[in-house]
Amino acid sequence: MSGLLNFLSGSFLGNLAGAALILIAGLIFIKIASSIMKKALSGSHLDEAVHKFIINVIRAVLYIVLTVVILGKLKVPTAPLVTVLGAAGAAIALALKDSLGNIAGGVLILANKLFKKGDVIDVSGEEGMVESIDLFVTTLKTYDNKVVTIPNGTITTSVIVNYSKEDIRRVDCVFSVAYDTDIAKAKDVLNAVAMKCPDGLDTPPPVVGVSQHQASSVELDLKVWCKTSKYFDVKYYLEEEVKAAFDEASITIPYPRMDVRVIE
């Protein structure tokens, strides 16, 4: 009996008190960590349901760790429990390999700020505006109003072009003129159109130059900088106005022709 009393009043009660303190401190820590995670996720572009899912997963992991620590403090053998949890975790990870890869991809997208909601991006040929960045997938809306859903794991292993990352963007146009065209005159016409473009920028200045000599034409490049949001406005303006300016200046835009000889 005295041995039992010594046990209860000694190491066991001490361990029990220590476990109680660990429990209280652990619960406070989990509450603080959850609050920090909520604030961090509130600034992201993930849906509210995704916020809750991430927080619940983190809390579950923390509760498991807290339980193992408390059992260890109470001298309960934790090795079998850790082994079982490890085996279960490995089995779940293997079964959900693709899903976990998509979750990791979503984290990488947000952590590296590859793009955000509202950006126009191109991923492996799929181009559109980012509608949402969710836990497993990212959703784009194309210019013709199609909705494209791409797994986050696929995005992070693909080439990503973000057209909205920078404030300004260059519009590149190519115009063909006949070989007998006065190139200096054609360049003056292109420069004049570029300078009149209402949404074109003066800095960096427009660039005009001969880029290639084709079989039946000389190709001239016209490069004009603009605000990213005005890209298509500038593109359409240049294409339309250059055609009108070439017509007014009697500059011929060649087109493929085939001479046919009839032998009688």
Which candidate, 248, 257, 245, places its Cα nearest to that of 220? 245
Give ranges for CATH 1.10.287 in the chain. Answer: 2-95
Strand, coil or helix: 231: helix
Predicted local confidence at residue 97, as pLDDT: 53
Provide φ and ψ at 217, rounded to 5°. -160, 160
CA distances 147 to 57, 70, 140, 142, Å, are 29, 49, 6, 6
Domain 107-162 indexed as CATH 3.30.465.10:
no
Predicted local confidence at residue 66, as pLDDT: 86
Average pLDDT over residues 151-175: 94
Residues near 35 by beta carbon (within 8 Å), at least 6 away in sequence: none
Please determine, for residue 247, whether its predicted confidence score (pLDDT) is greater than 90: yes
Domain 168-248 indexed as CATH 3.30.70.100:
yes
Give ranges for CATH 2.30.30.60 in the chain. Answer: 107-162
2-95 CATH:
1.10.287
Please determine, for residue 25, whether its predicted confidence score (pLDDT) is greater than 70: yes
Rg of the chain over Cα atoms, rounded to whole angstroms, equals 33
Please determine, for residue 4, whether its predicted confidence score (pLDDT) is greater than 50: no
Residue that is written with structure tokens 């799929």 in the block: 126
Predicted local confidence at residue 111, as pLDDT: 76
Give ranges for CATH 3.30.70.100 in the chain. Answer: 168-248
CA distances 86 to 78, 93, 105, Å, are 12, 10, 23
Predicted local confidence at residue 40, as pLDDT: 80
pTM: 0.63
Predicted local confidence at residue 81, as pLDDT: 63
pLDDT band with cut points at 50, 70 and 90 for residue 258: low
CA distances 113 to 45, 106, 117, Å, are 11, 10, 11
Please determine, for residue 139, whether its predicted confidence score (pLDDT) is greater than 50: yes
Predicted local confidence at residue 5, as pLDDT: 45
pLDDT band with cut points at 50, 70 and 90 for residue 192: very high
